[in-house]
Structure 1
Amino acid sequence: MFKLKEHKTDVFTELSAGFTTFLTMMYIVPVNGFILADAGLPMEAVITATALITILATLFSGIWSNTPIAMSVGMGLNAYFSYGLVLGMKIPWQTALGIVFISGILFVILSFTNFRVWIMTSIPMNLRRAISAGIGTFIAFIGLKQMGMIVDNPATLVSLGDFSKPNVLLGVLGLVLAFAFYSYRVKGAFVLSIALTSIVAWISGLGDIPKELFSAPASITPIALELDIASALTLSLLPVIITFLITDMFDTLGTLTGVGTRAKLFQENNKNDKSLQKTLEADAMATTAGSLLGVSTTTAFIESAAGVEDGGRTGLTAVFTALFFVCTLFMLPLFKSIPGNAIYPVLVVVGVLMFTELGKINFEDTDLATSAGAFFIVVLMPLTFSITNGIAAGFLVYTIIKLTKNQYKDLNLGILAITFISLLAFIL
């Protein structure tokens, strides 16, 4: 079924790779619980739903596409879901789940067409990199804010937090540990940094020691099938739906490109290779299913690269990863006892890793339209607390400058369509 011999691998190698991927991305279960709980969703239900969608999506991806790609709730869009839509735009979380569902349905439909190729070739690579970097600054800013390292200031909007507070220092410790472990390529770097920071918090009295480590999974009834699709189907929310769709598509294709290069997957010169198409289909269907369970956009995880580096080459790696995630269903007491400032440093590190995409843009050889568009995308996402605003401003500035300089050949139908939607984002 998985063609192990053809891919020059074996069951034990795939098992080891699956466990490695599990260790590197297990952090998403408690982290997503904290992020969506800030939007008003019950943390217990979110933790169970996150574990469930990770198991189901990764298992389906492994069997359907036969690739070592694990899937779970995407970092970046979950932060946008909570802090941008629910807390920022005052959209009820049920409506926000409806937005995720609609974007997922659109992605499912488009995954069976050539739209993904059209949209990716329409948008300049540098602007795509800027979007990734912008989301990185956005979630890093959220992480610093939640840790108390950045606080609001009536005179300057933001300022440095009080580093004499024990809780802020705990966040600093978590940040140092996360960077250190990741830089030394320690397997499960984020999980280890969260664990050690939590232990320090429990010993110092900054957190409650868990009375038990395992329990039965919490019910997802409070959030499952609670999405409000009707409220999401309004013209004013169209730009937000498009943002979720495009961001998920960029995130997935970027992840698959990076992982695929190492695993020698998704080879464009092989017409019989349908793995990319099938992985995109699995990603789209996972997003739709996740919204029904009560979580934000599900996407392919870059942490899958850790399993690939460990020898994973087929869908059996993903199947093993999914099976390992079953144990997270029973770890609710442990996850609930983790202090917030052991969790939020992970957002900062992930943000930094996404921000490095900006370094791939050669600004000396880039025209003003691209430079200005990239600048507004990266800067306005954190400053306006909105991925939508950042993308919209970037594309509007890019198009306006191109029109002003009579560079019409650089404005294809895809860019004009996104620019029109961007204009709607500000008008509506």
Structure 2
Amino acid sequence: MKKWMKDPFEIHSSSTSVKQEMMAGTIGFFTIVYIIAVNSLILSEAGIPLEAAIIATIVTSVVGCLLMGLWANAPIILVPGMGINALFSYTMVHSMGLSWQEALAVVFVSGLIFMFVAFTSFAKKLSSVIPNSLKEAITVGLGLFLMLIGLEMGGIVQKGTDSIITLGEFSDPFVLAAVITFLIAIVLFMRNVPGNFLITIVLGTLIAAGFGLIDFQQADSETVRAADYMAVFGAMSFESLFSFVFWIAVFSLTLVLVFENIGLVHGHVSFINKPDKFSRAFQANSVSAMLSGVFGTSPTVSTVETAAGMAAGGRTGLTAVTTGMLFAVSVFFIPLIKLIPNSAIAPILIIIGGLMLQNIRNIDMKDMSESFPAIIIIAMIPFTYSIADGIAIGFILYPIIKVAIGRAREVSLSLYVIAVLFIFNFIFHFVG
């Protein structure tokens, strides 16, 4: 006990230092701070007031990072996940017709299921049920979806008259600002400039201002009050609890949450060569995801930007705690955050989507019974503008192909059950 009180983060045994850990946490913060603006804007698409969404994102990030640092003693950053926030706003609310209050209830219930998986041996069992090709396809499909959203948000592509989509009007100052910002963003990213996403947002905002696209009076005239957030905190609605749509949303969100975080956490603890931290880190992740519904935002994930802090030497929970505390300080800069235009955010979505697309290399393209259902998931998520539908179609097609070529035994019974549930979901929508 005395030893723990002297070195609660095991800094000495981890061959690091307080200075190194705090520096790593600071770098991690500046790498991921863009999430405040990006996540808030995406949540506002679901109907959540922007001011409340900003505070919800900050509160959830603070609590998530502190949970990870204090419970798991791991240098992993927990913030609302990109891709999952799109599932929240564009699929659960826009496509499935849930209110944002009902969608928050979905987040809460999914988080409880996630906790059950994380705190039992069910995590390993569940991981073995879903084929690796389908798990990787979900990540790739989310990446392609994010790229599409980013391109649309920046006006670089738009709805076409003779085609589904077409190039935007590059003579439009807004589109031009987005394109210039993207070019800057990709150069900064490829050159691995520290805090490149934060720099992109700052420069993108200045570029938009140069084109006269920002009303700076908004920073003075509008303030974020605690009362704005209290309308969202604990605003979960369980009116649709007994509806089929609610549970399909829960199932889809849980599936993405569990398998995306299994991969992310495993990758992070492997990077620092501490696989023994997986269990507690995964548990902290699940508790944070559940609390996200209470705090008023989409669920948290073990973000890929964690690697920036780790690369800077972060090895213990002090890195995550430092990042969390910096998120708390950021609440004083909310008026400035609200000035950030879509043209400054869109390039980041495009780049993050591109990063997620790289997971396609993990899919076995030589075996068509594995690769084709995966490719269908990748294509259908953005084409249907629904993550849940894209996953469903791929999960239905996988066992059908295996049965058709005489390899039915390669499919687990649980996967057959999942496929049948997805089929019932489609039947429900068709009949409805």
Deviates more, 1:179-188 or 1:349-358: 179-188
Structure 1 letter corresponding to 2:291: A
TM-superposed CA distance for 1:409, in Å, is 2.0
Q: Deviations over 1:65-105 (max 9, x none)?
A: 01001101110010121112222233211111111111011
Distance of 1:362 and 1:109 partners within structure 2: 31
Q: Deviations over 1:114-153 (max 9, x none)?
A: 2211121122212211110001111111111121112112
Is this contact kept in 1: 2:364–2:371, CA < 8 A?
no
Q: Deviations over 1:200-241 (max 9, x none)?
A: 111231112365699776441121111112314422332221
Q: Find the counterpart in structure 2 of residue 320 from structure 1.
A: 322
| Alignment of 1:111 onto 2:122 | no
Deviates more, 1:83-92 or 1:293-302: 83-92
Structure 2 letter corresponding to 1:22: F
| Alignment of 1:388 onto 2:388 | yes
- Which consecutive residues of structure 2, in runs of 5 or more, have no partner in the other structure? 1-7
Distance of 2:114 and 2:362 partners within structure 1: 27
TM-superposed CA distance for 1:178, in Å, is 1.9
Residues 212-251 of structure 1 correspond to what in structure 2 (within 5 A)? 218=226, 219-251=228-260
Residues 59-98 of structure 1 correspond to what in structure 2 (within 5 A)? 59-98=66-105
Is this contact kept in 2: 1:17–1:317, CA < 8 A?
yes
Q: Deviations over 1:291-320 (max 9, x none)?
A: 111101111111111111111111111111
Q: Deviations over 1:327-361 (max 9, x none)?
A: 21111110111111111221111111101101222
**SS of 1:91's equivalent?**
coil
Structure 1 letter corresponding to 2:238: I
- Which consecutive residues of structure 1, in runs of 5 or more, have no partner in the other structure? 267-272
Note the aligned Cα RMSD (angstroms): 1.7
Distance of 1:237 and 1:420 partners within structure 2: 17
**SS of 1:230's equivalent?**
coil
| Alignment of 1:358 onto 2:360 | yes
Structure 2 letter corresponding to 1:111: A
Structure 2 letter corresponding to 1:14: E
**SS of 1:72's equivalent?**
strand
Distance of 1:401 and 1:229 partners within structure 2: 38
**SS of 2:314's equivalent?**
coil
| Alignment of 1:179 onto 2:186 | yes
Is this contact kept in 2: 1:216–1:329, CA < 8 A?
no
Structure 1 245/124 Cα, relative in aligned 2: closer, same or farther at 3 Å?
A: same
**SS of 2:239's equivalent?**
helix
**SS of 2:236's equivalent?**
coil
Q: Deviations over 1:3-44 (max 9, x none)?
A: 111111110110111101101000000111111111111101
| Alignment of 1:293 onto 2:302 | no
Q: Find the counterpart in structure 1 of residue 272 from structure 2.
A: 263
Structure 1 63/198 Cα, relative in aligned 2: closer, same or farther at 3 Å?
A: same
Deviates more, 1:411-420 or 1:139-148: 411-420
Q: Find the counterpart in structure 1 of residue 39 from structure 2.
A: 32
Q: Find the counterpart in structure 1 of residue 409 from structure 2.
A: 409
TM-score, with structure 1 as normaliser: 0.94
Structure 2 letter corresponding to 1:424: F
Distance of 1:232 and 1:162 partners within structure 2: 44
Is this contact kept in 1: 2:392–2:422, CA < 8 A?
yes
Structure 1 letter corresponding to 2:204: T
**SS of 1:151's equivalent?**
strand
Q: Deviations over 1:177-209 (max 9, x none)?
A: 222111111111111101001011112311123
Is this contact kept in 2: 1:213–1:332, CA < 8 A?
no
Distance of 2:148 and 2:308 partners within structure 1: 26
TM-score, with structure 2 as normaliser: 0.93
Q: Percent identity?
A: 33
**SS of 1:229's equivalent?**
coil
2:149 to 121, 142, 148: 142
Is this contact kept in 2: 1:24–1:188, CA < 8 A?
yes
| Alignment of 1:192 onto 2:194 | no
Is this contact kept in 2: 1:52–1:329, CA < 8 A?
no
Q: Deviations over 1:372-397 (max 9, x none)?
A: 20111001001111111111111111
Q: Find the counterpart in structure 2 of residue 269 from structure 1.
A: none
Distance of 1:283 and 1:361 partners within structure 2: 26
Distance of 1:215 and 1:52 partners within structure 2: 17
Distance of 1:73 and 1:212 partners within structure 2: 28
Q: Find the counterpart in structure 2 of residue 379 from structure 1.
A: 379
Q: How many residues align?
A: 419
Distance of 2:100 and 2:223 partners within structure 1: 27
Is this contact kept in 2: 1:48–1:217, CA < 8 A?
no
Deviates more, 1:406-415 or 1:396-405: 406-415
| Alignment of 1:130 onto 2:137 | yes
TM-superposed CA distance for 1:109, in Å, is 1.4
